[in-house]
Structure 1
């Protein structure tokens, strides 16, 4: 089967940890043929089908030159057995436009994972608000006065942009309220942009756990991203340390409650972020941590994903 990955430039992959690379490697080992393109290479001409300028590639096993290009050509997306949307955030206008093109490709017969409409309907921070029973005190607003009232009630809070990734733009404001006004102005752009505000969860010292759910079923291990030094952010991109560990009872409860709901909406792969007992984000664009979990526990996450993909086709 030919499988197309819509992703960031291959040349920028850090293959020692990249989840998309781990997917490609597992699928190639199973005999599938791999191709790749970037969202900017998608196109749709009046009266025609959604196409992309794609590179058919073979993974080489060489860390320094990890892929070779077998051919470059324009192809219609419906001619692939599966299309995997693995573009990293930001979840900006260009990302949304790409989902519209991918959704049109679906209407033409393409099989796209995660489903484009589901990607649009589940922005990664806002998506948690549907599952109020599993989240801590949380506010989404562009109103500075609302943020001040939330801080007055909860004393120690986290503020973050709705479209950030990798820990970018995350601020903690403690009980003294130092710089709350300035931080609010920076994030809400003087009242023109919505911000997520959450009660600070001290359990972050034990890690921000990434719980992976594939085909509605939880991977039995999470990756706890643990902040280092004085850093409040646990994201690996912000210097956090990743420690794989078995799911707790609460982790499993959350995954078993959310997993089937999200899978039924077309989300084959989801990464649920959990601090303590609370969900803080639901990642659907390009969830990661496959390699870290496999390397530390031996549980073959890429194989579980490939099984679920093949079963969905």
Structure 2
């Protein structure tokens, strides 16, 4: 995970998971990707034994780092935030070695490599809005001409970063395309704008293929089209509707088959916009609104998988 000292206790999902683990008497070790290494046919890590407290001022304590053998762990949670770069990918290969030695790794490291959070929606064409993926400026411009109001976004961002709403094709549009595609050398995604964003970008938490029956609708600030909490959106609790359940049912088999035990599905209107598998969040807000403990639900599933 990322440095625990920088998290928001009220919002951080990984912190909620650590609280749940501690409540179940797990010994908790925390480390970052640069702390993991391979030596003498073992995957090791410089990790710190960590305790957590549900207190905003004093919420964790750590002991001195020591070398641990990840093969001796019961569960390894990969909760590193994007960017999804080569360092992240290399780490998944090491975690795959850990998994092969009988340790439960969540989410499945191979699936973390195979399913890009933006591109994986292309596997469900009936569940997404009109979409293209291209680095070709002319192709993207033609798409914008067709739909007039279009969303452009990179394939490796998070938190609403570098996502643009394009309302017509002009010189500013060309500059935006050049910026995102790095002058036609990098693929980006263009999607027909979904006006229902005004009612919120819903984050649906799915645990082992089963959705929590409530979502956090992240409603954009006035004048904005970004619902992301990190981009200033406001979180509002909503019950899942019939279409939400339908979308969850469409992706559930893929999630279960690939060991994606904890997933954040993003839905705007009737469409899936993203399938978050690296470090999906929002459970602290849902817990508070609906008196839930989603991290406990997740650990119930983890412990069921430990016995398989």
Q: TM-score, normalised by structure 1?
A: 0.95
Aligned-partner SS, 2:243? helix
C-alpha distance in structure 2 between counterparts of 1:178 and 1:137, whole Å = 24
1:179-218 C-alpha deviation (Å, 9 max, x unpaired): 1100000000011110000000000000000111001100
Does structure 1 residue 27 correspond to structure 2 residue 21? yes
Aligned-partner SS, 1:62? coil
1:34-87 C-alpha deviation (Å, 9 max, x unpaired): 111001100012x42011101111123432221112453111111110000000
- Higher mean C-alpha displacement, 225-234 vs 60-69: 60-69
C-alpha distance in structure 2 between counterparts of 1:129 and 1:142, whole Å = 17
Runs of 4+ in 1 over 4 A off after TM superposition: none
- The match for 1:73 is 66
- The match for 1:289 is 282
1:85–1:113 Cα contact (<8 Å) kept: yes
Q: Measure how far apart 1:287 and its partner are.
A: 0.5
Uncovered stretches (5+) of structure 2, i.e. residues with no partner:
none
Does structure 1 residue 253 correspond to structure 2 residue 231? no
Q: Measure how far apart 1:152 and its partner are.
A: 1.3
Query: Which residue, out of 8, 13, 16, partners 2:7?
Result: 13
Q: Measure how far apart 1:177 and its partner are.
A: 4.1
C-alpha distance in structure 2 between counterparts of 1:299 and 1:267, whole Å = 21
- The match for 1:233 is 226
C-alpha distance in structure 1 between counterparts of 2:282 and 2:113, whole Å = 22
- Higher mean C-alpha displacement, 157-166 vs 21-30: 21-30
- The match for 1:136 is 129
1:49–1:108 Cα contact (<8 Å) kept: no
- The match for 1:121 is 114
- Higher mean C-alpha displacement, 126-135 vs 23-32: 23-32
2:144–2:169 Cα contact (<8 Å) kept: no
- The size of the alignment, in residue pairs, is 306
Q: Measure how far apart 1:111 and its partner are.
A: 1.9
C-alpha distance in structure 1 between counterparts of 2:293 and 2:270, whole Å = 26
